[in-house]
Amino acid sequence: MIDCSDGGPLERQAVAALTDRVDVPVVLAAPDPVALPGAAAPIAVGRPPRAEQRQLWRAVLDDEIRSDDRLARHVDEATTQFDVGYADIADAAAGTAPSAASLWRLCQARSRSRLGDLAQRIEPRARWSELRLPEDQFAALRDIAAQVRGRAKVHHEWGFERLSQRGLGVSAMFSGPSGTGKTLAAEVIAGELGLDLYRIDLSAVVSKYIGETEKNLRAVFDAADKGGAVLLFDEADALFGKRTEVRDSHDRYANIEVSYLLQRMECYRGLAVLTTNTRSALDHAFLRRLRFVVHFPFPDPAQRADIWRVVFPPEVPTSGLDPERLAQLNVTGGSIRNIALQAAFLAADADEPVTMGHVLRAARSEYAKLDRPITAVEAGGWA
């Protein structure tokens, strides 16, 4: 048996030459079919379907399930979220049997996605308390988390997965100005669900060469599907923009890329989150395929004051900071965090507590970056 799982074209050519010369049976293991002279028809060997994974886990953990009936429910939830193979289940049986608390972590570690240069794994640390949004947006985000969490019951126990394999994934688009909390919300949901969060590097995915973008998207979804990760296509306008009328071959292939993306999103069993600053630029046919569309509005003065009250860690020494007056700065939460960090460095350099003066200096720097002047109303009465 020859394992070509990691071999490239040259290695496969060498294997083909070898098998053509030897006079013994050869079994070749490879992720894709390999053309060999005189070879029999390829045999596709996939991971066990989720129903079979459940049976394997229940057989392996029979004694534990008898003593802890919660474990059966956790098995259903874990196999709905993660794609774990025979070897991983056998290894779990050989070692210490997982408890209801550790089963999720074991499956997550065994099925962790390997997206290489196409994505960056983010450790979810943000919590709901860090978001400052209107109640409708909060409710929509909690509904997203609830649908991912409840898929085992709805799809498996209630039989929706038997009706169709399409549309089982949860997809969402977060729209709104930069800095309003779209990426933070994706991190909060991933942390709530105990899932990995991957930010997709669009510069590595989108290619000017025909067929390369689809190949990269396939690699992203195939790797992520195994681990049930949350995929974050941040600032996705370039990839998910309006489909164009076909004027030349490039337009035709651009539409094929979008169609392929829509197909994979419908079949993806995890959560895919797309963020955009300009919802109006998106095709309506694309919007209809999304389960959730959540708009992140520019924060009002009350929300900005709430952000200012919590933006400085408790360990930071402050003096005379007035959240209501700071909320006069007409900026997003992302800019508020930038200003707070800059003000902290200014105060640390002067060996002083953070004051309104430090914040004003930091705000002028942030506004210069945004190519905006601070108005007299925004900075009125600060000094």
What's the pTM value of the predicted model, to 2 decimals?
Answer: 0.76
- List pLDDT tens digits, range 300-349: 999 999 999 999 999 999 999 999 999 999 999 999 999 999 999 999 99
Would you state the pLDDT for residue 242?
47
State yes or no: pLDDT of 82 exceeds 60: yes
Sequence-ordered alpha helix ranges (H) in 313-355: 323-326, 333-350
Q: Which of 197, 228, 267, 301 is nearest to 53 (CA)?
A: 228
330 secondary structure, DSSP code: -
CA atoms of 67 and 60, how far apart (whole Å):
14
Which residues are registered as beta bridge partners of 199? 120, 232
Would you state the pLDDT for residue 215?
80
- List pLDDT tens digits, range 229-288: 899 988 777 665 544 444 544 444 455 666 677 777 777 878 889 888 877 666 676 777
Would you state the pLDDT for residue 36?
66
State yes or no: pLDDT of 78 exceeds 50: yes
Phi and psi, residue 270, nearest 5°: -95, -160
Mean pLDDT of 95-111: 73
Would you state the pLDDT for residue 366?
94
Handedness of CA 378, 381, 382, 383 (dihedral sign): positive
CA atoms of 219 and 84, how far apart (whole Å):
18
- Between 4 and 348, whose confidence is greater? 348
271 secondary structure, DSSP code: E
- List pLDDT tens digits, range 172-195: 989 999 899 999 999 999 999 888
- List pLDDT tens digits, range 25-62: 777 777 666 666 666 667 777 667 777 888 888 887 77
pLDDT band at 350 (very low <50, low <70, confident <90, very high): very high
354 secondary structure, DSSP code: B
Would you state the pLDDT for residue 345?
97
State yes or no: pLDDT of 108 exceeds 90: no
At residue 240, the 3 state secondary structure works out as coil
- List pLDDT tens digits, range 159-174: 777 776 666 778 898 9
DSSP string over 85-99: -HHHHHHHHHSPPP-
Percentage of the chain exceeding pLDDT 70: 79
pLDDT band at 68 (very low <50, low <70, confident <90, very high): confident
DSSP string over 138-200: HHHHHHHHHHHHTHIIIIIIS-HHHH-STT-SEEEEEESSTTSSHHHHHHHHHHHHT--EEEE
In order of their start, the domains of the chain are 50-110 (no CATH), 116-295 (3.40.50.300), 301-369 (1.10.8.60)
